[in-house]
Structure 1
Amino acid sequence: MKSIIRWLLLGLFTLVCIFFLSNIRNAFLSAQPDQIRVAIGPDTSIQKISEQLPGSQVLNEKAGILSVPYGKSWDYIGKTLSIKGIFRATTVPLEHPIISWRYYGYSLKEQIKGFAQGDLGKFRSPFNRKEVAVLGELPNMLLRTCTYFIPGLLLAIVLSVIFAMIASMFRRLGALMDGTHGLLVGLPDFFLIVLIQLGAIYATKYLGHFVLLIVQVGDKTPFLIPFLTIALIPSVTIYGTLRIAIARELGQDYVVTALAKGLTRREVLVSHVMRNVMPDLLAILPKATTLALASMAVAEAICGISGLGGFIVSPALQSVSSMSAICMALALVAMAFHVFYALLRRKFIVRTGEAV
């Protein structure tokens, strides 16, 4: 029970930290948070405009600057769109960007109020430019992401285990695989994703007809590019860990004894070694899942997919009011996988200790 409470508190602490960090950009101000500038026509005056905006006051009539309640500049700019006689409304830029912890605290307070009322924020859709509530779109984002994230992660685990076994059975093939592994480890994730995308483009070009969906178009979401990205990058990490673990086990006395009794190398690997490297596999899976999530975010951004990762990375989808909600949703997905791995370790790993 104490262990469960400790992990729950750790998860809560992680979500709180993500909430604070995902809003850190609100501390950097380049415009006045309590002033707006309006351009008006000849048939009205700045004083009349102020009277139609409750809470505002005229600061500079000549420059058309109004003061508004703190932190409400963008809200008041939106309100001016319904007032006749206003040509344009903008924020008032600061002479130099500043770090404002007051505005950072204000933004946190406003978001917490919204969360308490069930409002997770809004974002502007890149397809029709309409504001969309995050709470209503979040299930669609999660489903869209899971359609290639879960299959890609499962494929990464299966491929890495198979390749590690093959590399341990055949020395020359193992040397080739280890060299390829070293090359892939040194390449950035972004470069690998771009290579996969270029492959899809050239395949379409040379075959003379459409082969792969490269970017999201409406409700049509690319599958193969994020799927291959998620499958490739975590498998590199899992493969390296298993190769080291298998090499360690092959030097143990029980392997030498089994080979001396006439068992083949393949039989020893399948029947004994793989069972003993299971703790290493379950230990690396949380890190591999985190890498898969990061790769998924980059792939979604490059392919223009409006999933959980693409929302965080893509400037076209980002919103001040909803960024923290999406970040915490992505963190909850990672935590769910970590809990699942912890349950697997408890079920399949035999714990030993000295008897008292």
Structure 2
Amino acid sequence: MSSIFRWILLGLFTLVCIFFLSNIRNAFLSTQPDQIRVAIGPDTSIQKISEQLPGSQVLNEKTGLLSVPYGKSWDYIGKTLSIKGIFRANTVPLEHPIISWRYYGYSLKEQVKGFAQGDFGKFRSPFNRKEVAVLGELPNMLLRTCTYFIPGLLLAIALSVLFAMTASMFRRLGALMDGTHALLVGLPDFFLIVLIQLGAVYATKYLGHFVLLIVQVGDKTPFLIPFLTIALIPSVTIYGTLRIAIARELGQDYVVTALAKGLTRREVLVSHVMRNVMADLLAILPKATTLALASMAVAEAICGISGLGGFIVSPALQSVSSMSAICMALALVAMAFHVFYALLRKKFIVRTGEVV
């Protein structure tokens, strides 16, 4: 029970840290958080405008400078759009960007208030530019991401186990696979995605018909590109771990004894070695899943997919109010996989120790 309580505390601490880090951009200011500048027509005055904006005060009538409550500059700019006689409203730029921990703390406080009231932020849809509540869209984003993330991760595990076993059975083929593994270890995931996209473009050009969807269009979501990316990157990590683990087991006495009794190398690998490297496989799966999530985020961003990872990485969505909620949702997905792996280790891995 104490172990479960400790892991729950660790999970909560992780979510809190993600919440703080996902809002770190608010610590960097390039505009005044408590001032706006308005351009008005000849039929009104800056004083009349100020009277229609409760909490504002005139700082400079000639330049149309108004002071507003701290941190509310964008809210007040939105309010000015409904006031007749205002041509334009802008924020007031600072002479140079600054780090403001006061504004950072203010933004955290406002978000916590919103969370307490059930408001987890909004973002503008990239397709119709309408504001969408993240809580309503989150299930769709999660489903969209899982359609290729879970199959890709399962394929990565299956391929890495199969290739590691094959490389251990046939030494020459194993040397070729190890060389390919060494090459893929240094291959960036975005490079792989761009290669697949270029291949699809040239295939469509030469064949004269559509081959592969490379970006999201409406409700049509690319599947093959994120699927292959998620499958390849983690499988490289799992393959390397299993190759080392299998080589270690092949040098054990029980393998020598089994071979001496007449069992073939394949029979020893399948019946004995794979069972003993299960601990190594379950130990590397959390890291492989983290790599898969990172690759998924890059693939979604490049393909313009509105999934959990693409939402976080996409430059067009970096300043939305729902960023921290999406980051924490993605962290919960990662935690769910880690808990699942921990349960598998507890069920299938037998721990041994010396008796004192």
Superposition TM-score, scaled by structure 1 size? 0.99
Aligned mates of 1:316, 1:99 — CA distance in 2: 22
CA contact (8 A) 1:123 1:318 kept: no
What's the offset of the Cα at 1:53? 0.5
CA contact (8 A) 1:125 1:317 kept: no
Aligned mates of 2:245, 2:207 — CA distance in 1: 43
Aligned mates of 2:207, 2:247 — CA distance in 1: 44
- The C-alpha deviation readout for 1:160-190, integer Å capped at 9, x for no partner, is 0000000000011111111110000011111
CA contact (8 A) 1:120 1:134 kept: yes
CA contact (8 A) 1:123 1:322 kept: yes
Instruction: Say how many residue pairs are matched.
Output: 356
Aligned mates of 2:137, 2:329 — CA distance in 1: 12
What's the offset of the Cα at 1:218? 0.6
CA contact (8 A) 1:55 1:68 kept: yes
What's the offset of the Cα at 1:320? 3.6
Aligned mates of 1:211, 1:171 — CA distance in 2: 38
- The C-alpha deviation readout for 1:268-288, integer Å capped at 9, x for no partner, is 000000000000000000000
Deviates further, 36-45 or 201-210: 201-210
- The C-alpha deviation readout for 1:121-145, integer Å capped at 9, x for no partner, is 0011111111110010001000000
What's the offset of the Cα at 1:19? 0.3
CA contact (8 A) 1:181 1:240 kept: yes
- The C-alpha deviation readout for 1:229-287, integer Å capped at 9, x for no partner, is 00000000000000000000011111111111111000000000000000000000000
Aligned residue for 1:316, secondary structure, equals: helix
What's the offset of the Cα at 1:352? 1.2
Deviates further, 305-314 or 122-131: 122-131
Deviates further, 39-48 or 337-346: 39-48
The answer for unaligned runs of 5 or more in structure 1 is none
* Percent identity (aligned): 95
Aligned mates of 2:65, 2:122 — CA distance in 1: 28
- Aligned partner of 2:221 in structure 1 is 221
What's the offset of the Cα at 1:355? 3.1
- Aligned partner of 2:131 in structure 1 is 131
Aligned mates of 2:107, 2:240 — CA distance in 1: 44
What's the offset of the Cα at 1:201? 1.5
Aligned residue for 2:315, secondary structure, equals: coil
What's the offset of the Cα at 1:317? 2.8
- Aligned partner of 1:202 in structure 2 is 202
- Aligned partner of 1:244 in structure 2 is 244
Aligned residue for 1:137, secondary structure, equals: helix
What's the offset of the Cα at 1:17? 0.3
CA contact (8 A) 1:168 1:243 kept: yes
What's the offset of the Cα at 1:46? 0.7
Aligned mates of 1:53, 1:304 — CA distance in 2: 39
- The C-alpha deviation readout for 1:50-100, integer Å capped at 9, x for no partner, is 111010000111111100000000000000110011111110000010000
What's the offset of the Cα at 1:318? 3.2
Aligned mates of 1:336, 1:62 — CA distance in 2: 58
Question: Once superposed, what is the RMSD of the aligned Cα atoms?
Answer: 0.8
Deviates further, 313-322 or 328-337: 313-322
CA contact (8 A) 1:189 1:233 kept: yes
What's the offset of the Cα at 1:354? 2.6
CA contact (8 A) 1:306 1:317 kept: no
- The C-alpha deviation readout for 1:182-210, integer Å capped at 9, x for no partner, is 00001111111111211221222222100
What's the offset of the Cα at 1:228? 0.3
CA contact (8 A) 1:226 1:300 kept: yes
Aligned mates of 2:250, 2:84 — CA distance in 1: 81
- Aligned partner of 1:187 in structure 2 is 187
CA contact (8 A) 1:60 1:66 kept: yes
Aligned residue for 2:42, secondary structure, equals: coil
What's the offset of the Cα at 1:316? 2.1
Aligned residue for 1:30, secondary structure, equals: strand
CA contact (8 A) 1:38 1:86 kept: yes
CA contact (8 A) 1:123 1:319 kept: no
Superposition TM-score, scaled by structure 2 size? 0.99
What's the offset of the Cα at 1:319? 3.5
Aligned mates of 1:41, 1:225 — CA distance in 2: 53
- Aligned partner of 2:312 in structure 1 is 312
Aligned mates of 1:312, 1:277 — CA distance in 2: 36
What's the offset of the Cα at 1:108? 0.1
Aligned mates of 2:207, 2:172 — CA distance in 1: 35
Deviates further, 202-211 or 42-51: 202-211
CA contact (8 A) 1:126 1:317 kept: no
CA contact (8 A) 1:58 1:65 kept: yes
- The C-alpha deviation readout for 1:278-318, integer Å capped at 9, x for no partner, is 00000000000000000000000000000000000002233
What's the offset of the Cα at 1:325? 0.4
Aligned mates of 1:127, 1:329 — CA distance in 2: 23
Deviates further, 34-43 or 331-340: 34-43
